[in-house]
Amino acid sequence: MGLLTDPRAGNGEMAKFILKWEKPLCYILYILGIGWMMLLASPYINENTYYSENALLPGLVKKESNLMSAAKQFYHELSTERERFPDQMPYAWLLAKFHQLHLDVFTQNFTLNYPFRNQQYKGQNVYGIVRAPRAASTEAIVVSVPYRPITSVHADTTPSVALLLAFAQFCRKQKYWAKDIIFLVTEHEQLGMQSWLDAYHGVTSGHEGVLVSGDLAGRAGSIQAAINLELHSMTISSIDVKVEGLNGQLPNLDLFNLAQNMINKEGIRRTFQRRFDTYEKDKFKKWQYHFNTLMSMTLTQATGIPTGNHGLFHRFGIEAVSLEGFDNYKDGAQRNFYHVGRVVESIVRSLNNLLERFHQSFFFYLLPCTDRYISIALYMTSLVLIVAGLFIKAFSIWLRLQDSSVKSESEKQTGKKQLQSNDNVTEFSVGSIASEILWTHTVGVSLMSSPRFLTSIISQYLDLRTEDAIYFTFLTITMLSILWPILTIRRRSKYSNIALVCVITCVEFATALMCVAMHNFSLALLCAALYVPFVLSINPKERISSGFRKILYVLWPLLHPFFVTSFVILIYTCINYGEEKILAILGRSLRATKQAFVLSIIDSMIYGNWFYNVAVAVMLPIWMLYWNVISRNTEIKT
C-alpha cells in the first residue's frame, strides 16, 4: 500500500523501471496476450477431451431402439397436417399423438406483449411426460424440438418432431428409467422455450409483463439435462453439436463429449461450428483450421445470443446441447433415423445413469475442434496479459502525479528546470472529477433503462417505425457524445484532474473486462483486443501536438460502440452478399443494423441478454471518459 500512497515511492527501482518502459512494456504485454490466444489453437498446447463423470457409463448400454419405421410414419402424418396449418403449430394432432402414446399430456399458453407497441403475440407449447417407473419423479431429462411451420424462415424441423414422437413411443415401453423424461414441442422458437422454463421454475427471467408465461398444469422432477433436436431431413449425413448459450454460458464439457462420441459411434460425421475435423498433416494448415474454428466459437459466444433452444437452460443450472442434423451427400455417407435414434437413445440412457448433477469436468472452455478443448486456466492468461497493460498505464500516471521530481509539461517545452519540494502534494478537484465520471455513467444507465420510453416519444411525435426511432436515437446520442467535449470545453483543465480521470478510467475498463470475462470470456477478449491498443496511447496533454495523437483524435470517434456495431454488421453483410452492388450492400447493412439494435433491446427485456446493457452502461461511459481526456487541453501540472 505504501507504493500507492507515499509520494516518495516513485524513487524506487520498480517505479523507475515502470516509468521508463511503460509504453513498450504495455504493448509487449498486449502482443503476448494476442499471440498466446493464437497459440492456444495448436494441438501442442490444448488437450484431448475426456470424461470426468464416469457415472455416465457412455457407450456401455446395449441400445435397443429402431425408430426408423415409427419416425417415418409420424413424419408423413405430420407433413400432411402441416399443409392444413401452414402458419401455426398443429396442436390437436400433437396432443392426440401424445395421448395415443399414453403419456401425461399438458399444454402451456404464453403471451408476448411487444415492448414498443400495443401488440400481443400468443403461443402454445405441448409436452408429454414419461414417468420414471423406478423413482419418485424427483429428477427429469428434457428432449425438446422447436416446431417451425411452413411459413417459417428457419430450416424445417418436421423430422425432429417425428423422431421425438418415435422415441417417446420407445421410452414408454421401457422399465429401466430412473428419471422422468419430458418430451417438449415449443412454438415461436426461443420464446416458447423461455416461457416454458420460466413457468416450470416459477420465475420471470426478463422484464415483468413482457413475456407472460402463465402456469404449468403438469410437472416432473428437477431437470438434470436437456437435448434439443433440430434435424432437417429424414436422412442425415452430419450432426452439428451446438453449445453456446445465453450470455455466453456453456454446458458441462462432459455432455458435449458424450454427444460427440455417441454421434461418432453411429458412423455419422460430427461437426462443431459446422466445420468438420481436419486430418491435415501440415502443422500450419492444421493450426489454421483449429484457429478459425476457435475464432468462430469466440465470435458466436461474444454476442450472448443462444445458438438454439438449449442455450436457455443454462441459467437454471441445467446442462443442455442442440443436435442439428444436415443432409448433404457430399459431406459423407447418409444415415437414417435408425442411427440417429440410437444416438438420442444412448445420450438419454447415459444421462439416466447419473446419480447426481453434472459437477465435474469444465464449465468454462473453448473448443478448436470436436475432440480437443482449451481450459479456462489457459485462455484466461491471454486476457490477463492484455489487461495488465491497462493497470500498468494507470499506475505509471499515478506515479507521475505523486512524484514531486517529475517536471510539468510546460517545463519540458521551455527547458526550465524547476524542482518541487518533496512535501508538495498534488491537488485534485474532487467535485470536477466526480461530476465528470457521474454524468457519463448516468448517460449509459439512462440509455439502458429507458429505450421503451424514448422510442415511444420519438415514434409518437415523428411518426417513425420502431427500428427507425431506435436507430436515429442512438445516432443522435452518438453525435452528441462526440461533439459535446469539442463544443463545451473552452478553457484549460488542470492536468492533475484529467490525469486522475484517465487513471480511474483505465482501472474501471480493466476491472470491467475481467468481470465480463468471468461469464463471457469471448466478449471481454474482443473488446480488449479492439480498444486496448488505442487506450494505451491516450495521455492527458497540453495540446494536440504529436502525429499519432492527431490520428487518435480522428480514430477514437470511429471506435464509438454505435459505429463499431455498424462496421461489424457491414463487414458481415459484405461477406455474405459480396456479389451485389455497393449500394445494395449498404442498404442491406443499414436495415440489418436497425434490426440488430431493436433485437438487442428486446433480447434484454425478454431473455435477460446483457449484451446491450454492457454496450451502453459499461463501454459507452468508458468511451466517453477517454474521449474527454483526448479532447481536453490542460494547464501546467500542479
Say which residues have a Cβ less than 8 Å from residue 148's Cβ, sequence separation at least 6. 154, 155, 156, 157, 189
Amino acid 523: pLDDT? 94
Give the model confidence (pLDDT) of 2-33 as tens digits. 444 554 444 577 878 888 888 899 999 999 99
What secondary structure does DSSP assign to 215-228, as a single string? --S---SEEEEEEE
Cell of 524: 471481454
Of the candidates 619, 615, 432, which has an alpha carbon nearest to the alpha carbon of residue 508?
619
Lowest mean pLDDT among 44-48, 142-146, 297-301, 427-431: 427-431
- Section 288-294 average pLDDT: 94
Amino acid 167: pLDDT? 95
465 pLDDT tier (thresholds 50, 70, 90): confident
Angle at 164 between CA 158 and CA 167, to 5 degrees: 140
Residue whose cell numbers read 431506435: 470
Amino acid 413: pLDDT? 43
Say which residues have a Cβ less than 8 Å from residue 358's Cβ, sequence separation at least 6. 53, 224, 225, 251, 252, 254, 255, 319
Residue type, 447: L
How many whole angstroms separate alpha carbon 197 and alpha carbon 13?
Answer: 58
Of the candidates 602, 594, 604, which has an alpha carbon nearest to the alpha carbon of residue 569?
594
* CB-CB contact of 485 with 436 (8 Å): no
Chain centroid offset of residue 455 CA: 25
pLDDT above 80 (res 515): yes
Residue ranges of domains in the chain: 54-370, 430-631
Residue type, 1: M
What secondary structure does DSSP assign to 450-477, as a single string? -HHHHHHHHHHHH---HHHHHHHHHHHH
* CB-CB contact of 67 with 341 (8 Å): yes
Alpha carbon distance, N-terminus to C-terminus of the chain = 23
How many whole angstroms separate alpha carbon 286 and alpha carbon 624?
Answer: 42
How many whole angstroms separate alpha carbon 78 and alpha carbon 94?
Answer: 9
Contacts 24+ apart (CB under 8 A), 9-17: 9/399, 9/402, 10/399, 10/400, 10/402, 10/403, 10/405, 10/406, 11/403, 11/405, 15/399, 15/403
- Section 108-136 average pLDDT: 89
Strands 238-242 and 269-272: parallel
Of the candidates 72, 79, 104, which has an alpha carbon nearest to the alpha carbon of residue 93?
79
Tell me the angle at which helices 561-576 and 582-606 cross, rounded to the nearest 10 degrees. 120
How many whole angstroms separate alpha carbon 232 and alpha carbon 160?
Answer: 7
- Section 470-493 average pLDDT: 80
Amino acid 166: pLDDT? 95
Strands 222-231 and 139-146: parallel
Stated length of the chain: 638
How many whole angstroms separate alpha carbon 57 and alpha carbon 349?
Answer: 9
- Section 588-602 average pLDDT: 91
What secondary structure does DSSP assign to 282-312, as a single string? SHHHHHHHHHHHHHHHHHHHHT---SSGGGG
Q: Using CA atoms in the order 621, 625, 628, 634, what is the torsion angle rounded to 10 degrees? A: 160
Residue whose cell numbers read 483526448: 630
How many whole angstroms separate alpha carbon 615 and alpha carbon 562?
Answer: 9
Judged by DSSP in three states, 626 sits in: helix
Q: What class has domain 54-370?
A: alpha beta
Average pLDDT, the chain: 86
Amino acid 411: pLDDT? 47
How many whole angstroms separate alpha carbon 96 and alpha carbon 135?
Answer: 27
* CB-CB contact of 111 with 158 (8 Å): no
How many whole angstroms separate alpha carbon 190 and alpha carbon 410?
Answer: 61
Amino acid 6: pLDDT? 54
pLDDT above 50 (res 529): yes
pLDDT above 50 (res 421): no
548 pLDDT tier (thresholds 50, 70, 90): low
Beta bridge partner(s), residue 225:
141, 319
pLDDT above 60 (res 633): yes
Amino acid 7: pLDDT? 47
pLDDT above 90 (res 183): yes
* CB-CB contact of 317 with 357 (8 Å): yes
What secondary structure does DSSP assign to 366-399, as a single string? E-SSSSEEEEHHHHHHHHHHHHHHHHHHHHHHHH
